[in-house]
Structure 1
C-alpha cells in the first residue's frame, strides 16, 4: 500500500518546491519507488514555460510526474460550484501514478492574495487523496512563540489537533537574511543597501522543538550556496548583450560589486564568483579585472553598463582573460537602473539548472528526519532498486563510518582541493593533500574557498627522505638504489603510494592530471595484490537514471585469459555486494548461449564455467549478448532459462577494447555519471580518476576508496585470525 504525503505551504516564500525536491531525493536515497504530483499549476508572474515544480522534478530525478491541471481550469470549476468535478479529475490523474510507487509526494498550492482559496482546496485535495499532511513554513521575522502561533492557526484550518492525518511540519530557510519588508534578501554583497531587520537565529528556531504543536520533521538551514545563479540567468534577466560568452552557462555568481571607486579601493572586492558592475567606458576597471583573472582569480563575470562597448584595443588586452572563460556582458541601462533591475531578479531555481537542482535536493534531503522517512515504507511490499541517489547516499554514509585517511597526490589541482574540503566538511574522509602549502592555499583562494584544519597538507619536500629506505627495501629484488628511489619519490603519486605502503594512509586517489598508468604502476610495484587475488582489475559504477550497474574490466587488462576473466567476474560480483548492489553477473560476448562459435566466444564460455564452479553462490551466466543481458523481452527469446538474462547488474566484458568502448559509449550517449575506475585485487585501495573528472566525481571516488580501505582491513584481519587458528 503506497503512502501519500502532501506538502502544504503556510504562506508565500516558504520554498515548498525546494522541499518537494528534497523529499523526493530523500526517498530515492532509501531506494524507495517515489513519485511526485502537483495537482494544480500555480505559475508565477512572468512564467511562460512549463509548470515549475513538475518540470524541475523531471530534470532533477528519474521520475516523470504527470502534468498538473491549469489554474484557469481549476478556477473556472471552483467559481461555477463544480469543485467536486475538479477533485474527481485530480484523483483520476493521481491514481495513474500510484501503481508502482511506495510514496507519492503531493505539492499543495501557495496561499497568495490572488489565490486566497488555496488552503481550502489543499485540504479538499488532501482528503480526496487520503494524504498525510506536512506543513512547510519558514521563520521569517517571527519569534519562536509567533511561529508556534502561526502553526496553530494552520492546524485549526485543516481539521484541528484531532486530525490524525496532520503528521508534522518542516521549517525551511532557517537563518535566512530578512529585509525590513519581511522578504528574503539574496546574499549578494553590495547589491542592496538594505539593513537586515532581523535575521532568525538557529537558537531561536530550536526553541520551537519544545513549543511546536506539531512534530518537526525537518529543520533546514538557509544556504547562500543554493541561491547562486548562473551568469546566463542574470544575462537573460537583464536582457544583456554577450560580448564574450566564456563559461556563461556554468559560472555562478555569489556576490555583486558596483565598481564606482578608484582601482586601489576596488581590488579587494575582486573575488571568485563576483559579478563586477561598471560603466563600459571604465577601461581601468575592465583591465584590472582581466589582470586578476589572468592571475587565477575566477571572477564571475563583467557587466558593463551604459551601452558603452569597450574599445577594441582594450578588448585585445583582455583576450587571454576572455579565453580563460570570463563572461563579459553589456547592457543599455545605467548603474542605478541596473541596481533596481537586480532587485527584481527571481532567485528561484530555473527548471534547466540541473546542477543547482541537484545541490538543493541533496542539501534538503540531508535535513529531513531519517526516522520519519523510515516509517513511510515500513509496510511496503514493493521491490526496491538501488537508484543513483541511493547509491551515492549509501557511499557517503559508509565512508563516514569508515573515517579513513586518504592521500591525494595531486594536491595543487583545483578540483582536488575543492573535493578535499567537501570530504572533510561532510566527514567522508580525512583528506591529505600533497603539495606546496602556500600554493595550495593560493589556488583555494582563487576558487573562492577557505581550507580548514580538517584538510591536512603535507609538503613532499619535507617528508621525502622518510620513504627512501623503505622503498629500497620493498624493491630490493629489482635492484633499486637510494639514488633512483629518491628520484622516483619526486613524483607525488609514488610518494603517496609509499605513504600507503607504510600504513600512514588508508588509500590513494589520483588521475585528475596523471594518466591511469602513472596512478596504477606504483601500486603494482609497491602495494602488490591482495591475499588470494591472482589479478588486478577494475570496475566502473554506471549510474543509470533508475539503477546502478557495474562494468568490468574497462581500464586494466587488455586481453585476459579465461582464468583471469573468471577472476574479474568474481571480484566484480564481490565489489557489487560490498556496495549494496545485488550481483547478477553477465559474461558479455557477441554470441548468446550456444548460438556462436570461435575462440573469443569459447573464452567467455570457459570463463563462465570456471567462475560458476568457483563461486556457486553467485548468479553468473554467459556468454550473453548485451541486449540479452539487459532487456527482458530479448532475454525471453535468446536465453529463456537464464536467471541473469534481462536483469543483469554486473557486466563482464571479454577484453579491454570491448569494455572501454562500451562504457564510454553508454556514458556519453546516455549522458550519465560513471564512478571509477575502482581497482580490485590490490592489497590496499588505489583508485584512478578520469582527467575530465568533476569535483563530485573525485568526492565519490574518495568515498569508494575509504570504504574499500575498511573492507581490506577487515579482510586482512580475517586472514590473520584464520592463520593463527591454523
Structure 2
C-alpha cells in the first residue's frame, strides 16, 4: 500500500519549502520511487519547487501528473457542484499518482491570494481522504517566542480537531535567539514531535540571477556561478571612493550610476582582494562603462556580475527591497543551506519513524549517497583538503559546510584561497585555512618527518622543505590527530597523494598492502570492486589481503560481504598460472577468515547472475549474489569498473583506500564536485572507526 505525508500550514510566509525539501530528502534516503502531488496550483505553468525536486532527486514523474486543479478550476467546480465533488476530483488525481509510487509527498496549498474558503479545513480534509500523515508548518518570522508557541499550538489543535493524523509540527523562521525556547515550550505541551528552525537570512536573500529576472536587467559581465551568488545586502554608491569602500559589506550588491567608474573599479578591486567579497554591481540610469573599463573589470574580478538597468537608484531600490530569494533548481547552494538547516534542527530519525518510511529492498545510487552524508554527519570528524584553491574542491567544501557534514581544513596560501572563494561566492567562515609555508606547525612537522625518515638519511633541514608540500603537510596533520582524514588528488597524481601516507601513516596492523575499492552503485544494488586503482599485479597472498580488506570496507558501509575471487574460469574448469593464483588466494582467505563467505575462482557472470550461477556453481552461497568482486589484477579491475560505469550507467564512488592506519583517499583528476563530496563523506565515516588520539 502506498503511504503519503501531507506538508501543510496555516498561512503564507512560513518558508514551508525548506520543510518540503527536507522531507523529500528523508524519503529518497529510504524509498526508491517517490512521487509528488500538489492538489491546487495557481496555473499550469512550471512549478518552481517541483522543478527543484525533480532535478535534485532525479524524479521521473511527468510534470502534468503532479497537479490536481488550478485554484480557478477548483473554485468553479465547488461553486457549481459543491465541496464533495471538488474533494472527489482531487482524490482521484491523487490516487493516479499513488498507484505509481511507493510513497507520495503531498505539498499543501499556499494560502496566497486564493478564493478558496477555509483553506486550512480543505487541507485537513484532503489529508484525511488521501490517508496521509500530516506535518504542520507554522511561520515564526518577526514574532516573539510566546506568540510563536501559541500560534503553533493552535495550528496543531486545529488540524487534530479536524481528524488529521498530525505526526509532527515544525515552527520555521524563528528568531535564532528564541529557537531553543520555542522548541522546548512546544515539546512540553504538545503530544507530537515538535521542531523549531531558526531564520536564516541567506535563504530569503535573492540571488543576482533572481534580481536580473525581476528587474529585467542586462548582464554586462558575470558567469553562472557569479549570478548564483546570494545578495545579502545593498550598498548604494554616491560618495567618493575613500568614504564608499568602508561601507561595503560581505555579499552586498553595489548599486551605483553606471558613470561612476571609480566606484565600479574600487568595489571590484576590494572584492578581488577579498575585503570584502561582494555579490556584484548593479548600474543605474542606463549608463554603461566603456569597453576598456569593462575589460579591466572582467580582469579584476572574473565571473563577478555587473548588470545594468535603465531606471534611477531610488525606483530601483524600491524594486530591490521587494525581491525575496526562493528555492529553485537554479540555486543549488540555497538547497544545501536549507537541508543543512533542516537536518541540524530536526530529529530526522524520529521523523522518519513517525511518517512510517520503510526502507526499500533496493539500494539506488541516490540512497547510497544520502546514507554517506547521514552517517558522516552522525559522528563529526575533521577532513583536510590539501588542494584548497582548486575550484571543484572549493565547491565541494561549500556543499559540505552548508550540509554540516564534517569539519574542514583547506591548505594553501590563505589569501589565494579566500580570493578564489570570493570569486566563486563561497563562504568559508566555518572552515579552517592553513598555509603550510607559514604555519607554526611546519617546524614541528619537519622534526617529526625527519625522525620517521631518518633511516633514509632525512634531516630536519631537508624535511623543512618537504613538509611545506600540501600533501605531506595534510598527511602529517592526520598522523598527529589534527585532522581525522585527508582527501586529495583533484589536481595531484595518485602517487603524490598516497606516497606520504605510505611513508608516514603506514599500513594498519594485519594489512600487508594498501589497496582500494570502488562502490559501484547500480540501479538496484551496490557492489564493491577491488582492487581497481593501486596494485598492478598482486600475488596470491596480496590478493587474499585485498579480499579481506574489501570485505571489511563493504561491511563498514552497509554492504553484506559475499566475496567473489574473479578469474576467466569458474571452479575447477580451468587451469594455468593466473587461475592458480586466484585459487590459492581463495584458500588463503578461507584459512585466515573462515567466517567470510568467499568463492573462487569464479567468472563475473557466475558471480552476479543467479541463472548462470545455478548452472556453473549450483549450491554456492556466493555465486549469483556476490557483493564484493575481487579482480586478479589492476588491468582487469580498472577496465571493468570503467566499462560498467560508462555502459551500465553506474555511479562509481571511489577509489576508497584501505589498509592504512588512518584514512587518506585519492580522487580522480577528473572528479566532479559530487565525487569529492562523496569521498570526503566516506573518509569521515572511515575515521569514525578509528580511535582519536
1:285-321 Cα distance to aligned partner (Å, 9 max, x none): 2222333344356532232222223212222333423
Shift of 1:281: 1.9
After alignment, is 678-687 or 208-217 more displaced?
Answer: 208-217
TM-fit CA distance, 1:246: 2.4
Aligned to 1:6: 6
Report if aligned partners of 2:78, 2:85 keep a CA contact under 8 Å in 1: no
Looking at structure 2, the residues matched to 631 and 88 of structure 1 have their Cα atoms a distance apart, in angstroms, of 47
The match for 2:67 is 68
Summarize the alignment of residues 531-680 of structure 1 with structure 2, pairs less than 5 Å apart. Answer: 531-541=509-519, 550-561=528-539, 564-583=542-561, 617-618=595-596, 650=628, 652=630, 655-656=633-634, 660=638, 675-680=653-658
The alpha-carbon deviation at position 599 of structure 1 amounts to 8.4
State whether residues 205 and 324 of structure 2, in contact with CA within 8 Å, keep that contact through their aligned partners in structure 1. Answer: no
Show CA shifts across 1:320-339 (max 9, x none): 236x2223222323322322
1:427-481 superposed Cα distances (whole Å, 9 cap, x missing partner): 8656556667787778778866474698788776534443455434433443444
2:132: which partner in 1? 131
Q: How far apart are the structure 2 equivalents of 1:86 and 1:36?
A: 22
User: After the TM superposition, which of the residue ranges 65-74 and 407-416 deviates more from structure 2?
Assistant: 407-416
TM-score, normalising length from structure 2? 0.81
Choose the corresponding residue for 1:226, options 192, 203, 208.
203
**Distance in 2, Cα, partners of 1:633 & 1:325:** 56
Does the aligned pair in 2 maintain the 1:464–1:486 contact within 8 Å? yes
Contact kept? 1:423, 1:429, Cα under 8 Å: yes
Query: Could you tell me which of 215, 218, 236 is aligned with 1:241?
Result: 218
TM-score normalised over the length of structure 1: 0.77
CA shift for structure 1 position 267: 1.8
Out of 253, 257, 262, the position equivalent to 2:230 is 253
1:505-533: CA deviation from partner (whole Å, max 9, x where unpaired): 54333335533221211111233222222
Q: How does 1:35-434 map to 2 (within 5 A)?
A: 35-43=34-42, 49-65=45-61, 66-71=65-70, 72-81=72-81, 83-95=83-95, 98=98, 103-117=103-117, 118-151=119-152, 154=155, 157-158=158-159, 160=161, 163=163, 165-175=165-175, 201-202=178-179, 205-206=182-183, 208-209=185-186, 215-248=192-225, 251-255=228-232, 256-296=234-274, 298-321=277-300, 324-370=302-348, 372-376=350-354, 380=358, 383=361, 385=363, 388=366, 391-392=369-370, 394-395=372-373, 397-398=375-376, 400-401=378-379, 404=381, 406-410=383-387
> What does the per-residue CA deviation read over 1:348-402, in whole Å, with 9 as the maximum and x for residues that have no partner?
222444443344234324432346425336695853647646654555545653x
Tell me how far apart the structure 1 counterparts of residues 613 and 216 of structure 2 sit (CA, whole Å): 54
* Contact 2:410–2:431 (CA under 8 A) maintained in structure 1: no
Aligned residue for 1:326, secondary structure, equals coil
Q: Offset at 1:10?
A: 0.5
Q: State whether residues 202 and 230 of structure 2, in contact with CA within 8 Å, keep that contact through their aligned partners in structure 1.
A: no
Structure 1 unaligned regions, length at least 5: 177-199, 718-726
Using the alignment, how far apart are the partners of 1:37 and 1:23 within structure 2? 11
Note the C-alpha offset of 1:11.
0.8
Change (3 A) 1:424 1:613: same
Aligned to 2:485: 507
Deviation at 1:67, TM superposition (A): 1.8
Q: Once the 2 structures are TM-superposed, how far is the Cα of residue 598 of structure 1 from its aligned partner?
A: 9.7
Once the two structures are TM-superposed, the CA of residue 27 in structure 1 deviates from its matched residue by: 3.5
Q: Secondary structure at the match of 1:40?
A: strand
Q: Is the 8 A contact 2:179 2:197 kept in 1?
A: no
For 1:436 and 1:332, how far apart are their aligned partners in 2? 41
Conservation of the 8 A alpha-carbon contact between 2:284 and 2:309: yes
CA distance in structure 2 between the partners assigned to 1:211 and 1:299 by the alignment: 44
Give the match's secondary structure for 2:40. Answer: coil
Which stretches in structure 2 are left out of the alignment for 5+ residues?
Answer: none
What residue in structure 1 maps to residue 502 of structure 2? 524
Count of paired positions: 685
What residue in structure 1 maps to residue 21 of structure 2?
21
Asked whether the equivalents of residues 91 and 129 of structure 2 are also in contact (C-alpha less than 8 Å), the reply is yes
**Cα shift at 1:125:** 1.3
Return the alpha-carbon distance in structure 1 between the equivalents of residues 608 and 169 of structure 2: 42
Note if contact 2:283-2:306 (Cα within 8 Å) is conserved in structure 1: yes
Question: Secondary structure of 1:574's partner?
Answer: helix
CA 1:356–1:144: 2 relative to 1, 3 Å? closer
CA displacement, residues 221-276 of structure 1 (integer Å, 9 cap, x when unaligned): 12123344443332222222232342457631233322222212222344553322
Cα distance in structure 2, aligned partners of 1:109 and 1:680: 50
RMSD between superposed Cα atoms in Å: 4.7
Residue 578 of structure 1, CA deviation: 0.7
